[in-house]
């Protein structure tokens, strides 16, 4: 349910496109994008809520410092989106509050 304005793609040389699913909606992104960039391309704002106070957050620094881009990727919670490149078929979801260790897919990635 991405519902904010998406970021705009400028004319570019990227050829390889992949499809990721942001809250189940397919989004075409460039193969080198980070998962956080895909979140912005999909307009998924906020992309998480904090465990401390459930306040809404979104990617902030995009360089691995702030940890505001924590998202659920392929069922694994609390992934640092700006440091993880997209993969075709990647499923991205909002990270709501603290990690739920019993959540779907929590056991999938040993």
Residues that bind another protein (CB under 8 A): 4-14, 30, 32-34, 37, 40-41, 43, 45-47, 50-53, 55-68, 70, 76, 78, 83, 85, 97-102, 106, 109-110
Shortest distance, position 34 Cβ to another protein, whole Å: 7
Shortest distance, position 9 Cβ to another protein, whole Å: 6
- CA-closest candidate to residue 94, choices 63, 73, 67, 64: 73
Looking at the Cβ atoms of 25 and 61, the one nearer to another protein is: 61
- CA-closest candidate to residue 104, choices 70, 63, 76: 76
- CA-closest candidate to residue 14, choices 93, 85, 92: 85
């Amino acid at each position: 349910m991405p519902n904010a304005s998406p970021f705009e793609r400028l004319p570019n040389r990227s050829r390889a496109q992949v499809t990721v699913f942001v809250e189940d909606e397919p989004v075409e992104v460039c193969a080198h994008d980070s998962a956080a960039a895909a979140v912005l391309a999909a307009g998924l704002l906020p992309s998480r809520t904090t465990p401390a106070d459930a306040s809404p957050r979104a990617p902030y620094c995009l360089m691995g410092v702030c940890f505001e881009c924590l998202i659920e990727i392929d069922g694994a919670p609390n992934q640092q989106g700006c440091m993880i490149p997209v993969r075709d078929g990647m499923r991205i979801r909002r990270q709501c509050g603290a990690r739920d260790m019993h959540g779907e897919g929590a056991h999938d990635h040993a």
